[in-house]
């Protein structure tokens, strides 16, 4: 009788573990759709992840993930700029990213490969606002990969500036 109960408990434990794993995958994929036009598509090695998997976000859905502020000087503006956006590590967690790098692709097809480890290490954001205003396409919007350049001397280099893609429309997890 003890063996039967132990076997039943083990079976139940396995079922619970499998259910928790699937619940985690499901929650990683769940993105509440907004009502606006999508401004970002994420593809590649994400939850649910065959090559045809993608997740789209409109501005409302991105903002719902939680915005943070980065104030920093950049090579593109002659003053300290206040950027507001979504932490990229949080965004990658939300879509269940399984890769080690992201290719950020701009509206004009310019792209740059960014190590995913940068996102948490440097607190990199996908900015939607600059100095309190949504960024228009004609001035680096609607989305701009921003590092807090003033936070560490190593960030003030071509290596990180070249990863700072503006007019981002797509992120490909590799």
pLDDT digits (tens, 9 = 90+) for 16-71: 333 333 333 333 344 455 568 999 999 999 997 655 689 999 999 999 999 999 99
Q: What is the DSSP letter of 58?
A: -
What the block records as the tokens of 163 is: 């990863």
In what order do the strands lie in the sheet containing 111-115?
54-57, 40-44, 168-173, 101-106, 111-115
Say what the pLDDT of residue 53 is.
Answer: 82
Which helix (H) or strand (E) segment holds residue 120: the answer is helix 117-122
Quick one: 149 exposed, middle or buried, by C-beta within 10 A (0-12, 13-18, 19+)? Answer: buried
**Mean pLDDT of the 3-17 span:** 41
């Amino acid at each position: 009788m003890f063996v039967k109960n132990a076997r039943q408990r083990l079976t139940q434990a396995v079922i619970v573990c499998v259910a928790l794993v699937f619940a985690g995958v499901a929650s990683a994929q769940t993105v509440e759709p907004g009502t606006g036009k999508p401004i970002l598509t994420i593809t590649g090695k994400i939850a649910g992840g065959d090559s045809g998997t993608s997740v789209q976000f409109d501005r409302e859905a991105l903002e719902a993930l939680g915005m943070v502020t980065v104030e920093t000087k950049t090579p593109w503006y002659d003053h300290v700029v206040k950027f507001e956006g979504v932490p990229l590590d949080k965004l990658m967690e939300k879509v269940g990213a399984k890769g080690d790098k992201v290719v950020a692709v701009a509206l004009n097809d310019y792209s740059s490969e960014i190590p995913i480890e940068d996102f948490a290490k440097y607190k990199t954001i996908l900015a939607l606002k600059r100095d309190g205003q949504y960024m228009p396409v004609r001035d680096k919007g609607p989305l701009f990969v921003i590092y807090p350049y003033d936070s560490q001397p190593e960030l003030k280099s071509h290596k990180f500036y070249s990863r700072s893609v503006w007019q981002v429309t797509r992120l490909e997890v590799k």
